[in-house]
Structure 1
Amino acid sequence: MKNKDIMYTLLLGLLAALSLVSCDKQEIETYHANRSLFFERWKQTSATARERIDTVGYSFSHYVGETELTHEFQIKLIGALLEEDTEYRVSVVDSLTTATGDQYSLPEKLMFHKGMASDVLPVTLKKAPSLKDKQVYLTLRLVANENFGLGYTGYSDVKIRFNDQEVIPLWWTQEVTDAYLGKYSFKKLETIIAANEGFSTFEGLSDTEKRKIALKTKAYILANNIKEENGDPMEIPMY
């Protein structure tokens, strides 16, 4: 074989090898790019309606006796289901966070579990004396790593605001006031919790369950002759 033919053959072999490496690299990049994560931001409020939730809120005053609360943010997977538990990353967005390290905690290692199309990120909120005086924010952000990219634009951040102040719960709407519990007061909230073991919110309850809680509270008020702080009768409009 002539030198020219040998050089030509070697060149073809080199180009073929480079092509294989390129394909392997492309397959790896595509493999990772095809798996990405995003936070679920929509909540089903009825059989036909959904509401986008950008910030969740908690007050320790609504959870009598609790020193820690856990909120689970739902995370969705785009791409093929995992064959093994795989680590993902989340960072605290300092510029959008006023909570201090003693007021919350995250798991040491964040794992998206195999065979799951969605998973949860548990965030633990901690009751601290400073929460009596102010409301704080914690903002978390999904970060791309070697295992996952980022999903839909605008769905990488979540935020929690929390305090220990005597504020009206978000679920105590005008409908709740008119139909079930009457005018809000912190003492009435404490009474509802005392009368209904395990109760913390009307959110997600059926009309029947709400009615049962209201009537049980009304009976508890009558049995214990409970009044508002100013001495007025504590009224529940449900019959």
Structure 2
Amino acid sequence: MKQYILLSLFALCLVACSEDEIKPYHGEHYLFFSELMESGDEAIELSFNNYPLDDELTVKIGMRLVGSPFETPTVYKVGVVADKTTAQSENYELPINPTFGANVAEDVLELKLKKTESLKEDVELLLRIEPNEHFAGSVKNYETIKIVFNNVQSKPLWWTKDVETVYLGAYTREKYLALVEYGGEEVLRFGELNSAEQRQCALRLKDAIEKYGLEEANGKPMTVPIY
């Protein structure tokens, strides 16, 4: 019986220690990037290649409050860790005075990424939650978040041999751009679609090819195998 009592006390200690990591001290407020906890990923990764018609992308990062909710929207501070950031300032835009919502425990930080000619390889943007007059700081291991992005033009991973044979034919940049423009909003997650949905996207592209006489870069008519 003593053995079970000791094990129970040990488990309670572990829980208490875990809770202490995110417990506010002396009534102070803290913020942390809940995105890291929920996704389990070390970084947010994206490529403008998957959004070829967009020159800007909005990234939404989940954040969580430790402490009692504020009665009014409250300004917090997020800075760039310069020595660990390779992205140029022209490639991103942070909100000047981001605010955490009133009467909520969770909110979202929105920032913009901008496509430029310099994004020919991965660049990194490391953000850190910093203290201000409203927040004492953040929580260990969740105070920074990394965004990795590029504009490397390449064939999407979902454009496999099966997709090529059944739906879209050989990959070309012109055909990909046409698919994004005419295939429907779901095209950007083509690899997650079922066969019927993929077929509909390919048929929309086929209709556009016939209607507008779409061509490849070499002037030859664009073609798809779907029928």
TM-score strictly above 0.5: yes
Judging changes above 3 Å, is the alpha-carbon distance between structure 1 residues 55 and 211 closer, same or farther for their aligned structure 2 residues? farther
* 1:205 to partner: Cα distance: 6.3
Judging changes above 3 Å, is the alpha-carbon distance between structure 1 residues 81 and 139 closer, same or farther for their aligned structure 2 residues? same
Does residue 193 (structure 1) correspond to residue 189 (structure 2)? The answer is no
SS of corresponding position for 1:201:
helix
Gaps (5+ residues) in structure 1?
A: 1-27, 44-50
Name the residue aligned to 2:31. 36
* 1:65 to partner: Cα distance: 4.2
Whole-angstrom distance in 1 between the partners of 2:61 and 2:187:
18
Name the residue aligned to 1:23. none
SS of corresponding position for 1:188:
helix
* C-alpha RMSD of the superposition: 3.6
The answer to whether the 8 Å contact 1:150/1:156 transfers is yes
When normalised by structure 1's length, the TM-score is 0.65
Whole-angstrom distance in 2 between the partners of 1:82 and 1:187:
51
Would you say how many aligned residue pairs link Structure 1 and Structure 2?
200
When normalised by structure 2's length, the TM-score is 0.68
The answer to whether the 8 Å contact 1:141/1:158 transfers is yes
* Percentage identity across paired residues of the two chains: 31
Judging changes above 3 Å, is the alpha-carbon distance between structure 1 residues 205 and 81 closer, same or farther for their aligned structure 2 residues? farther
Whole-angstrom distance in 2 between the partners of 1:212 and 1:235:
13
The answer to whether the 8 Å contact 2:187/2:201 transfers is no
Does residue 92 (structure 1) correspond to residue 97 (structure 2)? The answer is no
Judging changes above 3 Å, is the alpha-carbon distance between structure 1 residues 209 and 71 closer, same or farther for their aligned structure 2 residues? farther
Name the residue aligned to 1:22. none
* 1:55 to partner: Cα distance: 2.7
Name the residue aligned to 1:20. none
Whole-angstrom distance in 2 between the partners of 1:156 and 1:101:
21
The answer to whether the 8 Å contact 1:187/1:229 transfers is yes
Judging changes above 3 Å, is the alpha-carbon distance between structure 1 residues 94 and 183 closer, same or farther for their aligned structure 2 residues? farther
Name the residue aligned to 1:48. none
Judging changes above 3 Å, is the alpha-carbon distance between structure 1 residues 55 and 115 closer, same or farther for their aligned structure 2 residues? same
